[in-house]
């Protein structure tokens, strides 16, 4: 499932987090916000965790044929659920490295 919104629109991240955490089986929430805002660490984790890596490491994993293994290593458990979070980018400039990622990730 994919959720998206126009920039700055409220609710997409909160809805995605709620869906992932209540999904009846394992779920992977991918933070693909192009702004680099990373609202889940700031909100859900209340700023107690700094999450880096994530999406920016995946293009090289695709090239090496180890995408699933790298996702498994980088995904952070979301306490109280069977969901995990794959952290997003830290800066909008990093988004330029990701266009080749979307098809293999899907």
Nearest to 53 by CA among 41, 63, 45, 44: 41
Which of 42-63 are b and which e, b meaning 16 or more Cβ less than 10 Å from the residue's Cβ?
A: eebbeeeeebebbbbbbbebee
- pLDDT at residue number 71: 94
How confident is the model over 66-86, as pLDDT tens digits?
999 999 999 999 999 999 999
- pLDDT at residue number 42: 67
Low-confidence ranges of the chain (pLDDT < 70): 8, 42, 50
């Amino acid at each position: 499932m994919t959720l998206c919104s126009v920039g700055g629109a409220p609710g997409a991240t909160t809805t995605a987090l709620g869906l992932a955490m209540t999904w009846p089986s394992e779920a992977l929430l991918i933070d693909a916000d192009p702004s680099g805002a990373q609202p889940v660490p700031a909100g859900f984790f209340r700023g107690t965790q700094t999450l880096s890596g994530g999406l920016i490491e995946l293009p090289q994993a695709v090239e090496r044929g180890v995408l699933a293994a790298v996702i498994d290593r980088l995904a952070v458990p979301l306490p109280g659920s069977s969901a995990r979070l794959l952290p997003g980018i830290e800066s909008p400039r990093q988004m330029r490295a990701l266009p080749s990622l979307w098809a293999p990730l899907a």
